[in-house]
Amino acid sequence: MCKVSQKENKSNKNASQSLSIHLANNFTTDATCVGFDSIHGTDKPRSTVSHLEEEVARLEIELQRIKSQNNGVSVSESANVAVERLTTSLAVAIVEPGGISQKPGLPYLSSKPSRFLKTGKGVELPPGPITISSIPRQVVNTMLKHYCEIYRPQYPAIEESDLYDSCERVYNNHDPSDFDFFCVHISLAISTSTLMYKDEVRATTAACGFWATAVAHLGQVGLANAWERLQALQLLTHYGFLNPKDVDISRCAAAASRLCFQLGLHQELPHSAKIKLDSSTLNTRRRLLWHSYSMDCAFNTISCRPFLWPPSISPAKFPDCYLQPSPTLHVWTLRQIESEVTLTLYYPSLAPVEILTDTSLKEWIMRVHERLNKWHQVVHQSMNLTEKLEFHELHYQVQLLRLNRPSPRCPVPSMEMCKKALKASIDLIKEFSIIDRLGKLFYLWHAAYYLVESGVCLLASVLTGMECPDPALTHLQGEDIGILVRYIKTFPFLLRKISRRWPIIGCHTSALDVISLSVLEKVQSWAAGAMPSSSDLNSLKDKLNCYSRFSPFPTSTKKPPGEVDIETRENELIPVQEDDSVPMNFQNSTNLMSINPEFVDTQLPAEYNFPILPDLYGIDGGDALSWDFAGMNSEEIFAALLDGGESDLSQNPQSSLFDGS
C-alpha cells in the first residue's frame, strides 16, 4: 500500500509540474490555452469569450433549423402540439422540475434534496433508494409504529392494519403491489424525517432513500384503482408538508379533493345503498373525504388563502369508528374553525351569508374565541390529545393572531385586540423556539408561513406603537422591551434554519433580517426616549407590507363587507430583487420525480367549481414532549437504515433496540 501511494504521489507531482510548464509556455508565447472538450472529443480554447461566441453561433444554426422544420405550420397548431405534449406529462411538474423556474430571481431546485443540507462536516450523500428488505424487521416495525401512533392520527390516509399488511407483503416479497411499495416507503420516509432531532443529516439522507423508493413505484399506483390513487395523493400531501420542495402540495391536495367529489364521497349514501355495505367501508369513505378536507383546508388556510368546499358536502358525516377524545376528529374540528376565520375576516365576499348576517362582527369574534379556547382546553385535559397533537399550541396561537390583527373585515382593531395580536405573535415565535430546541422543526410548510406572519405582525405592531406620540396611549404600554427585542431577533434566526432545508425562502430570510435590525434600532432608541421620524417608520412599513398579503397595519379606510379587493396583493411574499413587482410564493417549483397524469388530470364537475385565488405567502414550555422511538438507540437505527442492516441489531435484535438512549 505504501509503495502504491508513493508511486501515485510521484505521478501526480510530475503531472502537476508538466501542467505548470505548459501553462507558463502558453502565457509567454501568446499561444492559445486549450482544454479537452469531452463532448466533441476535441481541444477547445479556454477563453470564455471564444467559448460563448461559438455557443451563440451554434444556437443560431439550431434556431434556423427549427424554423425551417416549422415552415407551413401555424402558431396555433404548434401550440396545440405543445399543449398535448405538456398534458401527457403533467404529473412531471408534480414530482420533477422541467427546468428553471420562469419567475425571475428564484433559485433552481435540484432533484437531490440532500444537496441543500448545510453542515460543517460535509453532506452525507444519499445511498440511493432504500428498500425495507435491507433493514432489520424490528427497525421497520418500530418506525411504522412511530408513524401510526403519532402522525397517522392527524393524517389518516391509510388504515393501520392495511399499512402493516402491505409491509408484510413487501418485506417477505409475497406478491406486493406498487401501492404496497409506495405506501410503506413513504410512511417510513415521513417517520424518518421526524428523527432529525437526533441527526439532521442522516435522518434526511434516510428519508431521501425511502422517498426515492416510494416514487419509483408511484407511476403504477392507482391506474385501475381510484381508492389507491386517493390514498397516494393524501400520503404525498403529508410528505409535502415536511418536504415542500419535493411535492407540489397545492396540486396533490386539490387533486385529492376532486377525486373525492368524483367518487361521490361528499354525500351520504342513500339507506338502500348503506345496507349493502359494512360499517368499515362506510367509515373508510367518510375518513378519506374528511382527511382530504383537512389537508386541502390546511394547505390554503396556513398560507391565508380562502378555503370553501361546495355546500353539498354538509350531509357527509364524520366516521363513527373513533373513540372520544379523538385526535383525528379534533384536528378536523380545528380545520372548520380555521376556514371560518380566514373566510370571514380576510375574504368576506366569499364567506357564507349566514356568518355575515346572523350576528355582529364583535359577537362573532367573541364566539370564535370561545370555540378556540374550548378546543385548546380539551387538548390539555386529555393526555392522548396532548401526546398526539404535538403542535396544538401553534395552531391555537395562529388563530388568535388572525382574529385580532388588522384584516379586511376589521381594518382598525381595538386596543384590546392589538394587545392580543402582539401577545399571539410573541407566543408563536416562542413556541417555534421551543420546537427548534427539541429538534422538531420538521413541518417546514407550516413553520415557514407561520413564522413569517408572526414576525411581520410583531414588527408591524411595534412600529404602530412607536407612532403614537404618547407612549401611555399605545398598546405597547406595559410591555417588556427586553421581551420584544428578544423575539425580534429570534424569528429571522429560525427562518434561516428552515431555509437550510427549503432554500427558496432564503432571500426572504435575508430581507426580513435587515428589516428586523432596523426596527430593533428604532425600538431601542424609542425606549430611551427618542421618537423615530415619520419618514423612517413609513419606509419600514412599506417594506413590511411587501411581506403580508393583508396589511398588518391598522387603516382608517374601511371598506363595506363584501367589497374587499382581494386581488390587490397577488401574493404574500415578494422576492428580493431589482424588479420588486414580481410576486412569488414559497412553492414555485418542485423536485419531484414522475407521477401518473391521472393523479392530477381529474376534472372537477362544473357544479363543484369554486374560486381559486393566487397563492400567498404545539408545544408550550410546560407541556414540551420529546417523544422518542420507544427508547430506541438512534445510532443503531441510522446504522440499520443507511448501512444496509450492517449493525448489531442484525446479530442481536433485543440488545439495544429499547435501551433508552
Return the pLDDT at 369. Answer: 97
Q: What is the pLDDT of residue 66?
A: 57
Query: What is the mean pLDDT of the segment spanning 277-299?
Result: 93
Q: Which span out of 70-84, 92-106, 290-304, 531-545 was modeled with the highest average pLDDT?
A: 290-304
Residue 201 predicted with pLDDT over 60: yes
Asked if pLDDT for residue 607 goes beyond 70, the answer is no
State the Cα–Cα distance between residues 590 and 582, nearest whole angstrom.
19
Report pLDDT digits (tens) over 372-414: 999 999 999 999 999 899 999 999 999 999 999 999 999 999 9
* Residues whose CB is less than 8 angstroms from the CB of residue 152 and which lie 6 or more positions away in sequence, other chains included: 158, 160, 163
Residue with cell 350576528: 359
**pLDDT cut 90: percent of the chain above it:** 44
pLDDT band at 304 (very low <50, low <70, confident <90, very high): very high
What is the pLDDT at residue 458?
96
Say what the pLDDT of residue 2 is: 47
* pLDDT value at residue 588: 44
pLDDT > 80? residue 470: no
pLDDT class of 573 with cuts at 50, 70, 90 = very low
Asked if residue 311 has pLDDT above 80, the reply is: no
> What is the identity of the amino acid at 418?
C
* pLDDT one-digit tens code per residue, 210-255: 999 999 999 899 888 999 999 999 999 999 999 998 999 999 999 9
d(Cα 395, Cα 375) in Å, to the nearest integer?
A: 11
pLDDT at 494: 95
Provide the pLDDT for residue 473: 72
Which pLDDT score is estimated for 490? 95
Mean pLDDT of 7-28: 49
Task: Tell which wins on pLDDT, 357 or 614.
Answer: 357
Cβ–Cβ < 8 Å for 345, 410 = yes
| Tens of pLDDT, residues 324-348 | 789 999 999 999 999 999 999 999 8
Cα distances (angstroms) measured from residue 28 to each of 25, 46, 233, 348: 5, 16, 64, 76
pTM of the model: 0.70
Confidence check: pLDDT of 421 > 80: yes
Q: Tell me, what's the pLDDT at 291? A: 96
pLDDT confidence tier of residue 555, bands split at 50, 70 and 90 = confident
Residue 165 has pLDDT above 90, yes or no: yes
Q: DSSP letter at 174?
A: S
**Confidence at residue 106, expressed as pLDDT on a 0 to 100 scale:** 27
- For residue 47, pLDDT beyond 50: yes
* Grid coordinates of 328: 383525528
Task: Identify the pLDDT of residue 131.
Answer: 84
Q: pLDDT over 70 for what percent of the chain?
A: 63
Q: Which residues contact 153 (CB under 8 A, 6 or more apart)?
A: 326, 327, 328, 331, 388
In whole angstroms, give the CA distance from residue 553 to residue 393.
25
Instruction: Answer yes or no: are the C-beta atoms of 239 and 247 closer than 8 Å.
Output: yes
pLDDT reported for residue 377: 96
For 343, the 3-state DSSP assignment is helix
Q: So what's the pLDDT on residue 294?
A: 95
Query: Mean pLDDT across the chain, nearest whole number?
Result: 74
The predicted model gives 78-94 an average pLDDT of 39
Overall average pLDDT of the 147-153 stretch: 93
Question: At 295, which helix (H) or strand (E)?
Answer: helix 279-302
Q: Which stretch, 325-339, 352-366, 458-472, has highest mean pLDDT?
A: 325-339
